[in-house]
Amino acid sequence: MTTLKIILDTRRSKSNGTYPIVLRLGHNRKTRNIPLGYDIFIDEWNEDTARINSKHRNSLRLNQKIYEKLTIAEKVTIDHERDIIIQDIKQVKKLIENELLGKEAEPTKQVMFFEFAQVIIDRNMEAKKFGNAGCYKTDLGVFKRYLGENNDIPLHTITYKWLKNFEAHLYGRGISMNGVNRYMRTVRAIMNKAINEDEMEPQYYPFRKFKLQRQETAKRAISKEDIMKIQNLEIEQGTRIWHSRNYLVFMFHTHGMNFSDLANLKVDNLHNNRVIYNRMKTKKLYNIKLTEKAKQIVELYTSYNSVKTDYLFPIFPRGIWGDTQSEHRYTKTVLKFTNDDAKTIALMCGIKETLTTYVIRHSWATIAKQLGVPTSVIQEGLGHTDSKTTETYLANFQDGVVDNANELIVGV
Quick: pLDDT tens for 149-169. Answer: 778 889 988 999 999 999 999
Instruction: Give the integer Cα–Cα distance in Å for 381 and 375.
Output: 10
Per-residue pLDDT reduced to its tens digit, 184-194? 999 999 999 99
Calculate Rg over the CA atoms of the chain.
31
Cα first-last separation, the chain:
64
Are the beta carbons of 44 and 71 closer than 8 angstroms? Answer: no
Residue 396 scores a pLDDT above 60: no
pLDDT of the residue at 372: 79
Between the CA atoms of 104, 106, 111 and 114, what dihedral angle is there, to the nearest 10 degrees? 30
pLDDT of the residue at 385: 62
Q: Taking all residues of the chain, what is their mean pLDDT, rounded to a whole number?
A: 86
pLDDT of the residue at 395: 58
DSSP 126-176: HTT-HHHHHHHHHHHHHHHHHH-TT---BGGG--HHHHHHHHHHHHHTT--
Residues 6+ apart with CB under 8 A from 77: 2, 4, 84, 92, 96
Pair type for strands 270-271 and 51-52: unpaired
Query: Position 41: which residue type?
Result: F
Are the beta carbons of 253 and 294 closer than 8 angstroms? Answer: yes
Per-residue pLDDT reduced to its tens digit, 126-145? 998 888 888 999 998 999 88
What are the backbone angles phi and psi of residue 277, rounded to the nearest 5°?
-155, 165
Q: How much is the average pLDDT of 64-93? A: 88
The one-character DSSP state at 17 is S
Per-residue pLDDT reduced to its tens digit, 185-219? 999 999 999 988 888 877 788 998 898 888 766 66
Query: Going edge to edge, which strands form the sheet with 274-278?
Result: 270-271, 274-278, 285-289
Instruction: Give the integer Cα–Cα distance in Å for 137 and 114.
Output: 10
Three-class SS of residue 86? coil
Q: How much is the average pLDDT of 374-402? A: 62
Considering the segment(s) 224-407 as one domain, its CATH architecture is Orthogonal Bundle (1.10)
pLDDT of the residue at 374: 77
Which of 362, 314, 366 is CA-nearest to residue 337?
314
User: Which of the residue ranges 225-239, 256-270, 397-411 would you say has the lowest mean pLDDT?
Assistant: 397-411
DSSP 174-215: T--HHHHHHHHHHHHHHHHHHHHTTSS-GGG-GGGT------
Per-residue pLDDT reduced to its tens digit, 323-368? 888 998 999 999 999 999 999 999 999 999 889 999 998 888 888 8
Residue 309 scores a pLDDT above 90: no
Between the CA atoms of 38, 39, 45 and 47, what dihedral angle is there, to the nearest 10 degrees? 70
pLDDT of the residue at 67: 92
Are the beta carbons of 109 and 39 closer than 8 angstroms? Answer: no
pLDDT of the residue at 411: 44
User: By CB neighbour count within 10 A (0-12 exposed, 13-18 middle, 19+ buried), where does 221 fall?
Assistant: buried
Tell which wins on pLDDT, 370 or 224: 224
What are the backbone angles phi and psi of residue 19, rounded to the nearest 5°?
-125, 150
**Global pTM value:** 0.59
CA distances in angstroms from 323 to 125, 129, 136, 328, 330, listed in the order given: 13, 13, 21, 9, 11
Are the beta carbons of 81 and 87 closer than 8 angstroms? Answer: no
What are the backbone angles phi and psi of residue 347, rounded to the nearest 5°?
-65, -40
pLDDT of the residue at 397: 47
pLDDT of the residue at 88: 87
Residues 6+ apart with CB under 8 A from 166: 146, 183, 184, 187
